[in-house]
A and B are shown apart, each in its own frame.
Chain A
Amino acid sequence: MPMTSREYAWKRRPGWWLRNRRYLMFQLREAGGVICALYGLVLLNMLVQLRAGESAYTAFLDLLRTPPVLYLNVVLFALVVWHALTWFMLIGKAQPIQFTRQPLPWKVVFGINVLLWLGVSGAVVYLIFGGI
């Protein structure tokens, strides 16, 4: 009997993520990922303005620091942090590389990743931004 390919039917309806809190948290994580791309474009524009000179760069920075943009950034930053924390949670649940005979409890892996995150953040402060 010849093999035929079958496409997986897309069953989820629009708004499925509003049905309960877990789905909503999942979708907020997804939104956090999209916000990261938005910030990627903001950083790219920052490099463009840096290249353009001090006045262009300072004007761009001043725009980012006007109260409406600044407070919008606080909300978006919260989504970025939520994205990071839930990413560390899912590493513990997926564990593509298993170092031990039994998979480690996901909370242990989450804790290790958070410690690693703090270490990496400290390294970024000193190596990229020149320290405090």
Chain B
Amino acid sequence: MLLEPIFWSLFSLGGFITAFLFPVTLFLLFFAAPFHLWPTDPAAYSTFGGHWKEPLVRLFFFVLIGGSLFHGTHRLKFMLMDAGFKGRSAEAFLDVILNGVAIFGSLGALFYAVRGWLF
């Protein structure tokens, strides 16, 4: 209950992050090369690995992954409640599992963002 405003805020922030940044990122990484829509392959190991050395790129992916997880898991919670997961215990269970995915996923992204850069 105490943390609810924080999760709602992260949900809203994640909504902006995913809306503005996800389409172009997914297009470049997953569709540009396979459908021959881009002159290079932005996801190729040498290309992406080269960009990954830059701190701004690492920060970008940390923000993108964290924002998408907090946004999507919050939405999933309410979709599951719509689907019939009702009641205090069900909601508490969803909170623990879904917020856990968002928190640990974001920490994982932070770990990979700073690994090889700061330590």
In angstroms, Cα B63 to Cα A128, docked, is 13
In angstroms, Cα B64 to Cα A132, docked, is 21
Is there a chain B Cβ closer than 8 Å to A35's Cβ? yes
Task: Tell which of B19, B34, B38, B60 touches A132, judged by Cβ atoms closer than 8 Å.
Answer: B38
Interface residues of B in 14-53 (CB under 8 A from A): 14-16, 18-31, 33-34, 38-40, 42-45, 47-52
Q: Do the beta carbons of B71 and A124 come within 8 Å of each other?
A: no
B26 to chain A: which residues have CB within 8 Å?
39, 73, 77, 80
B interface vs A, CB < 8 Å? 14-16, 18-31, 33-34, 38-40, 42-45, 47-52, 56-57, 60-61, 64-69, 71-73, 75-76, 78-79, 81-84, 86, 101-102, 105, 108-109, 112-113, 115-116
Interface residues of A in 30-45 (CB under 8 A from B): 30-31, 33-41, 43-44
In angstroms, Cα B18 to Cα A43, docked, is 13
Q: Do the beta carbons of A34 and B76 come within 8 Å of each other?
A: yes
Task: Tell which of A34, A39, A44 touches B79, judged by Cβ atoms closer than 8 Å.
Answer: A34
Task: Tell which of B27, B51, B56, B61 touches A77, judged by Cβ atoms closer than 8 Å.
Answer: B27
In angstroms, Cα B42 to Cα A83, docked, is 24
Q: Do the beta carbons of B82 and A124 come within 8 Å of each other?
A: no
Return the CB mask of A51-87 against B: 1 if under 8 Å, else 0.
1001001100100110000100110010011011001
Task: Tell which of B27, B51, B105, B116 touches A40, judged by Cβ atoms closer than 8 Å.
Answer: B105
Q: Is the interface of A mostly helix, strand, loop or mixed?
A: helix
Task: Tell which of B23, B47, B48 touches A84, judged by Cβ atoms closer than 8 Å.
Answer: B23
Is there a chain B Cβ closer than 8 Å to A47's Cβ? yes
Q: Do the beta carbons of A80 and B23 come within 8 Å of each other?
A: yes
The residue in A14, A33, A61, A88 that gathers the most chain B C-beta atoms within 10 A of its C-beta is A33
Q: Do the beta carbons of A33 and B57 come within 8 Å of each other?
A: no
Q: A40-B64, A51-B112 are in contact. Are A70 and B34 (CB under 8 A)?
A: yes
In angstroms, Cα B39 to Cα A128, docked, is 16
B66 to chain A: which residues have CB within 8 Å?
40
